[in-house]
Amino acid sequence: MQLPEENIYGHTKKLKFILKNIEEYKKQSNLPIKILDFGCGNGEAVTKYLIQSDTIVYGIDIHDESIEYAKNKFSCDNAIFQKDLPSNVEFDVIVYADVLEHLENPLKFLREHFPLLKKGGIVLGSLPNGYGPFEIEKKITKYLGMDLLIKLLINFKRKLKKSESLELIPYNEESGHVNFFTLKKLRKLFEDAGYKVEKIENGPFIGAPMSERFIKHFNSLIKFNVSIGEKLPHWLVSTWYFNLIKGNK
């Protein structure tokens, strides 16, 4: 499946990171591999790219409309979508793509999912730097009341699509960020859950709804924003990508 055009959030870079690490894992594993995409949402962002001939994907999400959309659009012999974790399934890969920052107690979930991952299995995902440009911009726009303007613009576009009989893709807008990580806090979270941190890589420099309104029209700026993140220190980027290996806990 062709990957989407890059955006200010480094979405395609994130997909490439996840898919590359899955391909590397496949080289030393029996196929097909089982993947748990926890917090899959509507499936459009990440899950649909995980569904391949040599993978079996379980997409899990609590948002009714999103999981129904994913179920109707992407369900197949290699992909199952539901609200609850499957029983008696051992996974090769667990994916948390922009999920942990939404959980009140991420350590609880990481520990609950730990037994579901087979020995030598990997955990892949992404989450925002809790004190980076993304979160700073969100706080500034909220303080200035500009977040309300952005929501109005988004709702207007959704109503326009509806009036034009275009498909509306459900999204859980009620689930905000409740955890804000430093890199030190993030590493401790993973280690406390029993995982060994294999790698943590930088995503883009900036990227939030307000800056997106301006930068999305300039492909050169989008590419620069994503590429410059690789050269910056961890604390100065908006997003981190991670690869964990199951330890012996």
List the CATH number of the domain containing 96: 3.40.50.150
- % of the chain exceeding 90 in pLDDT: 77
d(CA 65, CA 63): 6
Q: What is the mean pLDDT of residues 137-152?
A: 72
d(CA 151, CA 163): 18
The reported pLDDT for the residue numbered 225 is: 96
Token pair 């996840």: residue: 18
The answer for residues whose C-beta is within 8 angstroms of residue 50's C-beta and 6 or more apart is 18, 19, 22, 35, 37, 57, 95
Considering the domain boundaries, does residue 66 fall inside one?
yes
Give me the DSSP letters along 185-197: HHHHHHHHTTEEE
Q: Is the peptide bond before 32 cis (omega within 30 degrees of 0)?
A: yes
Please tell me whether residue 93 adopts helix, strand or coil conformation.
strand
Task: Provide the pLDDT confidence category of residue 165 given band limits of 50, 70 and 90.
Answer: very low
User: Looking at the 3D structure of the chain, how many domains does it have?
Assistant: 1
Considering the domain boundaries, does residue 135 fall inside one?
yes
The pTM assigned to this predicted structure is: 0.90
Tens digits of residue pLDDT in 214-239:
888 899 999 999 999 999 999 999 99
Task: Provide the pLDDT confidence category of residue 36 given band limits of 50, 70 and 90.
Answer: very high
Considering the domain boundaries, does residue 2 fall inside one?
no
Considering the domain boundaries, does residue 4 fall inside one?
no
Considering the domain boundaries, does residue 1 fall inside one?
no
Which range of residues forms the domain containing residue 56?
11-246
pLDDT at 22 over 80: yes
Q: What is the CB-side half-sphere exposure of residue 85 using CA atoms within 13 A?
A: 16
- What's the whole-number average pLDDT of the chain? 91
The answer for residues whose C-beta is within 8 angstroms of residue 61's C-beta and 6 or more apart is 39, 40, 41, 67, 70, 81, 83, 172
The reported pLDDT for the residue numbered 170 is: 82
The reported pLDDT for the residue numbered 248 is: 61
The reported pLDDT for the residue numbered 139 is: 86
Q: What is the mean pLDDT of residues 143-164?
A: 60
Considering the domain boundaries, does residue 3 fall inside one?
no
pLDDT at 3 over 90: yes
Considering the domain boundaries, does residue 17 fall inside one?
yes
Tens digits of residue pLDDT in 71-129:
999 999 999 999 999 988 999 999 999 999 999 999 999 999 999 999 999 999 999 99
